[in-house]
A and B are shown apart, each in its own frame.
Chain A
């Protein structure tokens, strides 16, 4: 009864496949082709990543009307991740940042590859593209100081 309890790895994995729909599909297609696309909303704001419905008018977004933004932008907020986990963009400490790309009025979340001491709200950054792009958010490898 006093013997040590056993323990073993236990992995659970669900390989979901999702259809992207016209807007997210166009956004991801853009990333694959090294373009970041946003949506010019009915109130004049440019939203990136693009939503599927216009927040002001509730109308479905027409993917044909997406506009290119970036590839540079400004950090609007950030958070240091000292303990990266499996599936994170880096296996070393890094920052998550909200980046407002040039031409956009909203921010998108992604990893920022920069020394912790060099990061500040308002710093200029640019997209670092992944070498192999497949149409996924990780086609942006991360942001880096511009």
Chain B
């Protein structure tokens, strides 16, 4: 009771209602059902995954929905060695930018099953889903990606994604 006050906690809290828009809503509905869905640009034919409402390069609205595979290629990656608040994965860990088969843009996901000094561009990987009963409207249905026992993809196959 007699100690002088030297510090206070002043939490800043913002409560939003987030609406992701029609394209992301469709993507998240597919995720909830365990499917990957991208969207194709009618102008440049690039497939965005996760999809957006329109093509950022052509400025046109997407129309076509494209089912995608669970497999893909590591286009690039980063090894995280630096600690930070609320970290949930042990250091060091790898974040890979994955081009899923059938897509033309990358998705950032946790890469497990390979040592940080052995990860490389072109690695073939597969998405690992959390248990079906835990699926939600969320990209976190994918817990991580893991290497496939396949030869590395040639640079030409993913160069446009980086």
Contacts of B131 in A (CB 8 A): none
Q: Does B88 contact A (CB under 8 A)?
A: no
Interface stretch (choices B14-22, B106-114, B121-129, B145-153): B14-22
B18:A19 contact, CB within 8 angstroms: no
B25:A5 contact, CB within 8 angstroms: yes
Contacts of B17 in A (CB 8 A): 7-10
Q: Does B137 contact A (CB under 8 A)?
A: yes
CB distance from B116 to the nearest CB of A (A): 31
Interface stretch (choices B5-13, B41-49, B74-82, B91-99): B5-13
A1:B16 contact, CB within 8 angstroms: no
Contacts of A3 in B (CB 8 A): 22, 25-26, 29
A9:B22 contact, CB within 8 angstroms: no
Contacts of A25 in B (CB 8 A): 4-6
**Alpha-carbon distance A25/B8, docked complex (angstroms):** 9
B4:A26 contact, CB within 8 angstroms: yes
**Alpha-carbon distance A31/B45, docked complex (angstroms):** 66
CB neighbors of B among A1-47 (8 A) = 1, 3-20, 25-26, 28-29, 32-33
A135:B5 contact, CB within 8 angstroms: yes
Q: Which of B7, B13, B25 contacts A4 (CB 8 A)?
A: B25
B28: nearest residue on chain A (CB-CB)? A6
B26: nearest residue on chain A (CB-CB)? A3
Residues in B lying within 8 Å of A, measured CB to CB = 1, 4-22, 24-26, 28-29, 137
Q: Can you sample 15 A-B contacts with CB below 8 Å?
A: A5-B20, A7-B17, A7-B19, A8-B17, A8-B18, A9-B17, A10-B16, A11-B13, A12-B13, A13-B14, A16-B11, A17-B8, A18-B10, A19-B6, A20-B5
Residues in A lying within 8 Å of B, measured CB to CB = 1, 3-20, 25-26, 28-29, 32-33, 86-87, 135-136
